[in-house]
Structure 1
Amino acid sequence: MASHLPIVQFEDKIMKTVEDNAVVVIIGETGSGKSTQLSQMLHRRGYTKSGIVAVTQPRRVAAVSVARRVAQELGVTLGEEVGYAIRFEDRTSDLTRIKYLTDGVLLRESLSNPELNQYSVIILDEAHERSLNTDILLGLVKRLVKVRASKLKVLITSATLDGEKVSEFFSDCPVLNVPGKLYPVEIMYSEESPKSYIESSLRTAMDIHVREPEGDVLIFMTGQDDIEKLVSKLEDRVQSLEEGSCMDAIILPLHGSLPPELQAGIPFGIIPFHIDTFQIPVRVFSPPPPNCRRFIVATNIAETSLTVDGVVYVIDSGYVKQRQYNPSTGMYSLDIVQISKVQANQRAGRAGRTRPGKCYRLYSSEAYEEEFLDVTVPEIQRSSLAGSVLYLKSLDLPDIDILKFDFLDPPSFESLEDALKQLHLIDAIDDTGLITRVGQTMAELPLEPSLSRTLMEANENGCLSQALTVAAIGKSNEKKRKHPPSDLPDGSGWGDHVQLLQIFEEWDQNDFDIGWCKDNGSLNVRTNERYKERQRGYKNLRKALCVGYANKLAERMVQHNGYRTIGFKPQLVQVHPSSTLKTDEDGMFPNYIVYHELIAIVHLCAMYVP
């Protein structure tokens, strides 16, 4: 048992409160030990005799690393008494009594067992992140507590959650506060917001390196692109310093773009890093060597999900990259937005885990007080709800009304209406709003509804393998869409999705060589003869895409190549510049297109046009 952690001192009080109440909210400050110790307390008190203790995490890497740590503390083999389940990987057994899993996995389990009878306790950890899945789980467990009466205990834990609000949601359940193990952190504000937070982060990092005593530096950036830019600039600046003028430095990027099989091997408290997505080895670092400082350039994954030991200095850009959906336009945007005060305080707290630290905020105190939101906007209020509505309908529970579902922070009526319309257009629900046989099958696939519908149709048309390839490439290629090298396959006039498939087939011809992916500019594509053999498959694939994305159709305007979307609140859009879509002899695009999604750049663009 980790007896040094603050939460252990409160075990008797916590367990007495859990015994007397069906739902308990626990606000455990950073470093309190709530993620690793609560499940062990419940195990010691016998709650695992009547079922499994489930602990949800918003992120896969956290579910794996915390499960590994708990197994280590209990002296058991991971996958036996303590296990984890994430998408595509279930490391549990009949012996498992403590199970860490992502919130999405728990939702999927409820499809086959809506009452989740296998669990005696459900802990919703890191609930302050307010992921879409966690918000749905909050509504479902509120129902379960009533249905299962005394047979289920629910604990909702967080470092920064609004405990009183959640307590009110769960009929005034008790709220316990557990102090953390934080050292003082000195907060330093900029006089004004910088023109470039990357350049300002670079200057601040170098000032720390040259002037401040030892201690690692954690720098918060908005995404992988910014991280790579800053890492490159830091490397150049550190290398330009006079040898021996200051300590050595290691510069490490940290973001969530790790495949599950690599995340599964992460020891607790040790961070995986990789510089580019084509590197197979994952660099895993323990504390730096003597007289050496680590610069860790990270996304918001380092706010709560991962603890980076040794950090003494934090540089907070004040921004985060957020994907947002507008139901009135059907459009996604990936925006760089200001963080909330809660996020800012989480970031600052990273500097006080091992000793007193400093947080350099690249914004003014006035901006923090007057411009920052108190809390982060819940994902459920900025996401497409088609998948969530389909899931709730698939449960087929008579006491659940989609438009009146009990959310902690309800989404807009417009968002729910948009979701219902989208599902109706792809045959997931009928005219009365009831889920169809097609919709029930779609709900069983862990994919967005349009993609699920596409795969079902592809299966009927004998091109499932091709559709699966396109789906996988499309998901991995969501973050960036650039002009491909001119010597790569161009889709042979069959559209962007077929182009993705052809590129994969070309990689197959090159024995899936990683080097080919790095240097495909030197590829000499042979004639399209072999593609002709596959044109029947391409045609069937396009049919499947048209069925799956029937809710995303656009008609070309008269006399020019702009399009108007067809359906709920039409939008004027243009085909994305990276598309392989070709014009005819008159310079015109096809009369109609089916698109994957709308994104906002300078103007609205339709992405991935088949």
Structure 2
Amino acid sequence: MANLPILQFEEKIVETVEKNSVVVIIGETGSGKSTQLSQILHRHGYTKSGVIAITQPRRVAAVSVARRVAQELDVPLGEDVGYAIRFEDRTTSKTRIKYLTDGVLLRESLSNPMLDDYSVIILDEAHERSLNTDILLGLVKRLVRIRASNFKVLITSATLDGEKVSEFFSGCPVLNVPGKLYPVEILYSKERPVSYIESSLKVAIDIHVREPEGDILIFMTGQDDIEKLVSRLEEKVRSLAEGSCMDAIIYPLHGSLPPEMQVRVFSPPPPNCRRFIVSTNIAETSLTVDGVVYVIDSGYVKQRQYNPSSGMFSLDVIQISKVQANQRAGRAGRTRPGKCYRLYPLAVYRDDFLDATIPEIQRTSLAGSVLYLKSLDLPDIDILKFDFLDAPSSESLEDALKQLYFIDAIDENGAITRIGRTMSDLPLEPSLSRTLIEANETGCLSQALTVVAMLSAETTLLPARSKPSEKKRKHDDDSNLPNGSGYGDHIQLLQIFESWDRTNYDPVWCKENGMQVRGMVFVKDVRRQLCQIMQKISKG
């Protein structure tokens, strides 16, 4: 820990925070900003007057960083240091340092618009430009204006345009903390590969056979790609002649993994053994894995896009931006000089990649955010003039208002309705909240709660449908899972949960039917929590 670059700047950081309400800290990859900033401010007494909140755009990061900080301070997780993510709160009245997703902090501000439990709010990883972080930027700007001067806001990021955020906060100071510790050699492909999975496999095995020790981090687009590559790597490593190279362990890393499997990547490998870590862009900035010397960058990422004219979401594999490519490369230089193998030519990086990632606010549905802002009921907030770092298009704001009007959340004047207020009490997409309210009126709440809980699970619960082939037909005969009786996925999800319910939630049933036990237990817990909220709403 002692060698984390940010610790050399402790005095400078504390001095700047004391003199200013808002400070932007640009900490490069591996500077230690996510784990150390909260501890620095804690050491200097900022937890005496309130809790330090540190937001993360991703659930996995909120949990793993909180776990790491609790370890470093030698306190039990959930007491002095805790975390809160949607549907899971590991904090107590003792908690002084609290890691939470940006979405959870937004929900907290509904019941406490001044957020006065917090003496410091740190918006971490702001360069990811998640929708919730962008809204929080606008809200904390307002709080800085109306709360007492001892309230502090820090915006931290790896490569964010610090000047832009500084201007947004009326010229607040920007501190730069260097992070990349060692040089990284960047190697480009001559051309784009036909299959980035095959190409990654080939490069990874070449490194393993030819290069000195050091772990290999491979960036893939999503869980499916990761699972394919992990099984191909395992096959290939087994086929290498014994004694021809060191041992290898292969770990997947993505948001749907159980926490105990995510944690494995933070433990050093056994002696004379190389780790292959096959990850989504979660390892780009949110999590730092020590020991990585080689990075393989496919050049792609999976991104959720929304089209206001069709009202449809799509999950598309798209090219990363230059900022993302540089973040990925930086992961190779943490412990010693490293190498980054880019599976695309230099010309593609130079000419085709966007400079920075498009902010989520400009490519997603804003219905939930607009409902949230309306339910705050703050006279000085006008949705169409809300202070965004990058304003969304008027088309997507109009689309959000239209959607909310269709589901009775706002009236023809744009004012929030009684139903809209009830909807905002539920930690769900507006359409799902509306479904529960309607189901409550029509006497099918129990079934609707099940479907909504199944849809809210972080994991894809339906077993993967294999390609139409002999194997597929055979697999269908083996599976005892209900098929939705011709009414589609929602009914299938309901029937699956009800089948599990009839076994008294037996984990063996999940395993026999190819369902993730952890995912199903999570659904059961979400359903229980939603049921409690609905009971409160009915009484209210």
TM-score (norm 2): 0.88
Counterpart in the other structure of 2:116? 117
1:44–1:508 distance in 2 versus 1, CA, 3 Å: closer
Counterpart in the other structure of 1:534? none
SS at 2:380 equivalent: coil
Q: Deviations over 1:387-418 (max 9, x none)?
A: 01000000000011111111111110000100
1:359–1:181 distance in 2 versus 1, CA, 3 Å: closer
Q: State how far apart, in whole Å, the 1-side matches of 2:270 and 2:46 are.
A: 44
1:496–1:67 distance in 2 versus 1, CA, 3 Å: closer
Q: Deviations over 1:467-511 (max 9, x none)?
A: 111112233475877499476434446554223212322233345
Q: State how far apart, in whole Å, the 2-side matches of 1:173 and 1:503 are.
A: 53
Q: Deviations over 1:335-389 (max 9, x none)?
A: 1100011111111111111111110000011111111111111111111110010
Counterpart in the other structure of 1:318? 299
Whether the 8 Å contact between 2:321 and 2:353 is mirrored in structure 1 is yes
Aligned residue runs from structure 1 range 374-389, under 5 A: 374-389=355-370
The alpha-carbon deviation at position 79 of structure 1 amounts to 2.5
1:107–1:285 distance in 2 versus 1, CA, 3 Å: closer
Q: Deviations over 1:567-590 (max 9, x none)?
A: xxxxxxxxxxxxxxxxxxxxxxxx
1:141–1:358 distance in 2 versus 1, CA, 3 Å: same
The alpha-carbon deviation at position 102 of structure 1 amounts to 1.1
Whether 1:489 aligns to 2:482 is yes
Q: State how far apart, in whole Å, the 2-side matches of 1:443 and 1:467 are.
A: 18
- Give the counterpart of 2:380 among 399, 411, 419: 399
Letter in 2 for 1:387: G
Q: Deviations over 1:198-249 (max 9, x none)?
A: 1111110111111111111111000111111111111121112112211111
Counterpart in the other structure of 2:392? 411
Letter in 1 for 2:176: N
Whether 1:337 aligns to 2:336 is no
Q: State how far apart, in whole Å, the 2-side matches of 1:406 and 1:12 are.
A: 32
Q: State how far apart, in whole Å, the 1-side matches of 2:301 and 2:180 are.
A: 26
Whether the 8 Å contact between 1:485 and 1:520 is mirrored in structure 2 is no
Structure that is richer in helix per residue: 2
The alpha-carbon deviation at position 174 of structure 1 amounts to 0.8
Counterpart in the other structure of 1:6? 5
Letter in 2 for 1:71: A
TM-score (norm 1): 0.79
Counterpart in the other structure of 2:94? 95
Structure 1 or 2, whichever has the larger Rg, is 1
Q: State how far apart, in whole Å, the 2-side matches of 1:46 and 1:286 are.
A: 32
Q: Deviations over 1:159-178 (max 9, x none)?
A: 11110111111111111101
The alpha-carbon deviation at position 55 of structure 1 amounts to 0.9
Counterpart in the other structure of 1:36? 35
Whether the 8 Å contact between 2:322 and 2:354 is mirrored in structure 1 is yes
Moved over 6 A (4+): none
Identity of aligned residues (%): 80
Counterpart in the other structure of 1:465? 446
Letter in 2 for 1:127: A
Q: State how far apart, in whole Å, the 1-side matches of 2:414 and 2:335 are.
A: 55
Report how many residues are paired. Answer: 502
SS at 2:7 equivalent: helix
Aligned residue runs from structure 1 range 121-140, under 5 A: 121-140=120-139
Q: State how far apart, in whole Å, the 1-side matches of 2:42 and 2:512 are.
A: 53
Whether 1:501 aligns to 2:499 is no
Q: State how far apart, in whole Å, the 2-side matches of 1:7 and 1:173 are.
A: 20
Name the stretch that deviates more: 161-170 or 240-249. Answer: 240-249
Counterpart in the other structure of 2:309? 328
Q: State how far apart, in whole Å, the 1-side matches of 2:118 and 2:195 are.
A: 49
Counterpart in the other structure of 2:526? none
Counterpart in the other structure of 2:349? 368
Counterpart in the other structure of 1:545? none
Whether the 8 Å contact between 1:132 and 1:380 is mirrored in structure 2 is yes
Q: State how far apart, in whole Å, the 2-side matches of 1:479 and 1:416 are.
A: 32
SS at 2:294 equivalent: strand
Aligned residue runs from structure 1 range 195-594, under 5 A: 195-258=194-257, 262-263=258-259, 272-273=261-262, 286-476=267-457, 482=465, 485=476, 488-492=481-485, 496-514=489-507, 516-517=509-510, 519-520=512-513
Counterpart in the other structure of 2:168? 169
Q: State how far apart, in whole Å, the 1-side matches of 2:231 and 2:67 are.
A: 33
Whether the 8 Å contact between 1:30 and 1:182 is mirrored in structure 2 is no
